[in-house]
Structure 1
Amino acid sequence: MLYTALQVTISTMRLLHVIHSMSPETGGPAESLRQRASEHIRTGDTVEVLSQDRPDAPFLKTLDFPVHAISTEIGGYGRSPELLQWLRQNVGRFDGVVVEGLWQYFNIAVRKAAAGRVPYAVFSHGMLDPWFKKQYPLKHLKKSAYWLPFQYPVLRDATSVLFTTDIERQLATESFWPHRWQGVVVPFGIAPAPDETPSQLERFFAAVPGVRGRRFVLFLARLHEKKGCDLLVEAYARVAGQYPEVDLVMAGPDADELQKQLEGMARKYKIENRIHWPGMLQGEAKWGAFHACEAFVLPSHQENFGVAVAEALACSKPVLISDKVNIWDGIKADGAGLVDTDTADGAERILRSWLEMDGEQRRAMSRRAQACYERRFSMSRCAEAIRQVFAR
């Protein structure tokens, strides 16, 4: 099912979102929930979040909505009788529950607690993409054993399973069997980017002083195998000699300790002084990075949406992405970026194509990037679509 236009007049709703962690280091699901929750609140909805973070986690203090943090876990998959008890006692206060992601115990807990009482929907966040099946066959076998008795019933019994693109919805049926559920594509989005300020730029240049006054392209995501980080380093090495004035910033958390391997690649190609590794950028430093860069690059192997892609577009920055970022078709149609395969050759082609453009061509693509964001990735449409799911 594709979400199109609202056909039901919806009063304000009380929504509960359940997620494993709201930590910014976990990537897109936490950031997208933060932005969606803020939009729901802006339009009059009541939003609460249930997570398995530590109650004293500092990032929880930065959120503008209540988070009930229950960190007690037993064994794998985040099993928590305390979390199930909280849900049974509180789920009746809400008009709907949104499960954020798969493969964790909170999925089972929501199904048990909400059954016959409150409708729930499941955001898959790309976790059913067959790329994981191909890349990690042993993990897939383990998940296959978990699928039929635990994960599949959660999806089957949900009011809706939410996907961000039709590509993601179609791919989700290729990983496991059975796969009968009520799939709904909702228009995903982000909040508008803040206007550029001097303090943003100074925060960024304080984190990455080596690019002050230089041209650079920006990678801003987790340093993870699926993001195509190694492809980007190799591709940049192929063009760096021809464009000595252009650097590469690789910004993101390194939970999988991939950075050392990537730095080794940079030394091998003799470009170690041209690639900058500031770690995770947040707040003003993050927005300073977007505003200061020439373009954003993400040659990912799998991306159901890509929050940072939309954030770059919102900052009028063209995006250089692979065709495995599932919003690539709209971006290409709008002329807001460059798209190629998730290979080193593909990454090289998009970098080289960008660098070969003259100034007017780059400025024109920047204008189209902003228009693409406004046309396709407004957060208000996403929030309304989720409310519509529970109004049916």
Structure 2
Amino acid sequence: MKVLHVISSMNPETGGVCEAVRICAGGLQKLGIQNEVVSVDEDIFNKTDIFLQHALGPAANAWHYSKLLLPWLSANITRFDVVIVHGLWLYHGFAVYKAFNALKTSGIKPKLFVMPHGMLDPYFQRAKGRRIKAIRNVIYWSLIEKKLINSADKILFTCETELILARLPFWPYKPKSETVVGLGVIAPPAYNIKMADVFKNTVPGLNDSPYLLFLSRIHEKKGVDLIIDAYKQIAKSQLSSINGKVSNLPKLVIAGPGLDSNYGIQMQQTVAESTLLKNLVYFPGMLTGEAKWGAFYGCEAFVLPSHQENFGIAVVEALTCNKPVLISNQVNIWRELCEAGGALVADDNKTGTYDMLSTWQKLSLVEKQKMGVNARRCYDQHFEVNAVINRFQEVLFN
């Protein structure tokens, strides 16, 4: 059995889709199923992956077009039993559709699955500042994307909420079949003191202070401004009139790629220009390896008041480290987390984020520790990678 995963990029800085592919392909490979990943990257980012990768870039354009991809697909696609397109709106999906269309009369045709990874969420058609992109998506859907979606054997979703939302923004949306396969997250390496040391060296000044952790792209969609605004309000309320210092407030670490974007620069300026925040909020950039796990293991809680989050791999990674998560109700897996007692959930606005952080501050140490235990239990029940990969295998080959 052979599976081909087709994705635009496996660059970790592009977000969670490449990590989802890495988890799926690696998990299936361990079950004895041969997996290959093809992208339009110029190079392979993680050469330790156990599956074969093909980087067919360069594709330095908005559509991520590469002249090498379609010929490669045409020459290789029949080697596979299953082809999975990960993500939408870019050239790699169109190339797969073209390659499959050319097989109509050949009699040899793999199964075709499409995994949107949240890219059919109506948020992207409704969000302020995306009007031009929303119009572009409508046109692209009518000309290209609907053909891929409606011709696939099955559309795969990470959770029930994603499946329901995907039916709303575009027409005609008539997939042959839909199913929820979930998404597993690999448990982290066991904690060791080196993780903490590497993380502390990455964030000078934090020392042994308690902290809340945001770890994702520094992007408007993620609600970083909401965190900073709510955190500033709480800091003001705890400012001592005697010594002018803030007491009993964990510091805030905002980690992830995107600091050099206009939004990222704006967030850093907001903190730098505040005498209250500049010694409380840290921007260490993207964290990987031991620094990343040191950040997770050492935090009080993970914070993500995102305006749209299809799954949230970093959210689940926090659960694996026994950490409560403080998230918005726009993170599609919020119900599972809330029911397990491992999360605080609020609306994705200033009031909701402030109330959520305030509630966390008022919890006792025992209550916070209990939430951490519940968080790990939620991971074991819903997101443990082996159970999800077994379910994935059943869907692909039954």
TM-score range, shorter chain: over 0.9
SS of the residue corresponding to residue 210 of structure 1 reads coil
Q: Are residue 223 (structure 1) and residue 228 (structure 2) matched?
A: no
Q: Contact 1:188 / 1:377 at 8 angstroms: preserved in 2?
A: yes
2:339 aligned partner: 333
Number of residue equivalences:
378
1:168-216 deviations in Å (ceiling 9; x for gaps): 1111122111111122111212011211111111111110132221110
Q: What does 1:123-272 correspond to in 2, within 5 Å? A: 123-135=115-127, 136-181=130-175, 182-241=177-236, 242=238, 244=247, 245-254=249-258, 256-269=261-274, 270-272=276-278
Q: Contact 2:29 / 2:50 at 8 angstroms: preserved in 1?
A: no
C-alpha deviation, 1:30, in angstroms? 0.7
Of structures 1 and 2, the one with the larger relative CO (CA 8 A, separation 6+) is 1
Q: Are residue 30 (structure 1) and residue 34 (structure 2) matched?
A: no
CA distance in 2, matches of 1:390, 1:292: 38
Q: Are residue 60 (structure 1) and residue 60 (structure 2) matched?
A: no
Q: Are residue 109 (structure 1) and residue 115 (structure 2) matched?
A: no
Distance 1:251 1:65, change over 3 A: same
Distance 1:212 1:26, change over 3 A: same
Q: Contact 2:41 / 2:59 at 8 angstroms: preserved in 1?
A: no
2:243 aligned partner: none
C-alpha deviation, 1:75, in angstroms? 5.6
Q: Which range is displaced more, 122-131 or 318-327?
A: 122-131
Q: Contact 1:230 / 1:262 at 8 angstroms: preserved in 2?
A: yes
SS of the residue corresponding to residue 276 of structure 1 reads strand
2:302 maps to amino acid: F
1:114 maps to amino acid: F
Q: Which range is displaced more, 60-69 or 195-204?
A: 60-69
CA distance in 2, matches of 1:318, 1:382: 22
CA distance in 1, matches of 2:363, 2:4: 47
C-alpha deviation, 1:231, in angstroms? 0.6
1:47 aligned partner: 35
1:314-349 deviations in Å (ceiling 9; x for gaps): 100000000000000010001001000001111111
CA distance in 2, matches of 1:385, 1:156: 23
1:26 maps to amino acid: T
2:366 aligned partner: 360
CA distance in 2, matches of 1:325, 1:306: 7
Compute the TM-score of the two structures, normalised by the length of structure 2. Answer: 0.91
CA distance in 2, matches of 1:279, 1:75: 25
2:13 maps to amino acid: E
2:241 aligned partner: none
CA distance in 2, matches of 1:109, 1:358: 55
1:232 maps to amino acid: I
Q: Contact 1:201 / 1:292 at 8 angstroms: preserved in 2?
A: yes
SS of the residue corresponding to residue 188 of structure 1 reads coil
C-alpha deviation, 1:74, in angstroms? 8.2
Q: Contact 1:187 / 1:381 at 8 angstroms: preserved in 2?
A: no
Q: Percent identity?
A: 40
- Listed as ranges, the gaps of 5+ residues in structure 1 are 1-12
C-alpha deviation, 1:134, in angstroms? 1.1
Q: Which range is displaced more, 330-339 or 167-176?
A: 167-176
SS of the residue corresponding to residue 355 of structure 1 reads helix
Compute the TM-score of the two structures, normalised by the length of structure 1. Answer: 0.93
2:142 maps to amino acid: L
Which one of the candidate residues 288, 292, 303 is aligned to 1:297?
303
1:323 aligned partner: 329
Q: Which range is displaced more, 93-102 or 208-217?
A: 208-217
SS of the residue corresponding to residue 78 of structure 1 reads coil
CA distance in 1, matches of 2:257, 2:302: 17
Q: Contact 2:194 / 2:290 at 8 angstroms: preserved in 1?
A: yes
SS of the residue corresponding to residue 49 of structure 1 reads strand
Q: Contact 2:268 / 2:283 at 8 angstroms: preserved in 1?
A: no
Q: Which range is displaced more, 300-309 or 374-383?
A: 374-383
Which one of the candidate residues 58, 62, 67 is aligned to 1:81?
67
Distance 1:62 1:279, change over 3 A: farther
C-alpha deviation, 1:267, in angstroms? 4.0
CA distance in 2, matches of 1:81, 1:262: 38
1:147 maps to amino acid: W
Q: Are residue 370 (structure 1) and residue 364 (structure 2) matched?
A: no
1:223-242 deviations in Å (ceiling 9; x for gaps): 01110111111011111242
CA distance in 2, matches of 1:262, 1:350: 20
Q: Contact 2:181 / 2:395 at 8 angstroms: preserved in 1?
A: no
1:48-86 deviations in Å (ceiling 9; x for gaps): 10011013x5x2324232110000448641233321110
1:279 aligned partner: 285
SS of the residue corresponding to residue 231 of structure 2 reads helix
- Listed as ranges, the gaps of 5+ residues in structure 2 are 239-245
Backbone CA RMSD of aligned residues: 1.5
SS of the residue corresponding to residue 72 of structure 2 reads helix
